[in-house]
Structure 1
């Protein structure tokens, strides 16, 4: 490689392995990526969707998953209680379990949102899986809109949750296009 002083600082060598720092060619670390115009908007959009979904999920369960709502669902489905337990015990256990599960899911989503905001490259794959699962849930959830009588949630809340799940579809597609054409978080290799 030439020590040409006319080489611009930050220029990448033809083989993509070195970067000119103004005085010498410095090796580029293996696996290095540079952000593109898609990178930050993609990270912020993914983080926003995950954070909003986490908040809505927990709030929905805390506000609407009540004793009366669960009892209504049990009565509508004709479920029988396990022997040796009262209706109140089963309903309380169901409520606590559902809220704990909602909090767990919210923590998974908030971790993905945090990783996206902090620009952790490896979190891309984690968020891509979350968006894929959200997309799948959105498609399956469409059929649930026709059976809201068995839901403990008001129809408006069910529609809001479905819209959030459906919003994961374009996000998933965008992330998929970004990783195929550029790389994780639509970041490119230096010099490309």
Structure 2
């Protein structure tokens, strides 16, 4: 019996100890709520994001997605209409549409329950969440029928060591700098 217990402990340590020391520069885990504010770095706009451990790839609300070539590489242009996900306090504001161009990282085939599969472009985007800047891949899709313009999936959560508290939202202790819709409108009107 003693030999069996020793063998079991040795196997347990062989599995778990290397993982504990595998990545010394990995940042400490941070717990965030299932909904948090994110700020897209190119625009400074703040959006609500759902942290979703069921999704592998993050996704971003995008319409008028158009592929094109630039310097011999595949790129995509797209728009993000803020009106599709406004907060009630912003309901009287004019519609602001953010425009982006990004190199295509890859395409993914998304299997959808009750609908046909959908091919989506994937791009890299810089953003800030909980006071920290990050970069991840986002699949581009029309999320206007969903509550959140941004969905952050496991690829981001795991790479950046983020834990999700599914019982609460807006748990971040630090904020990111952002521009209000009023500031964005003033910039748009000045152009």
Shorter-chain TM-score bucket reads under 0.3
TM-score scaled by structure 2?
0.23
Name whichever structure is richer in strand by fraction: 2
TM-score scaled by structure 1?
0.23
Name whichever structure is richer in helix by fraction: 1
Name the larger-Rg structure.
1
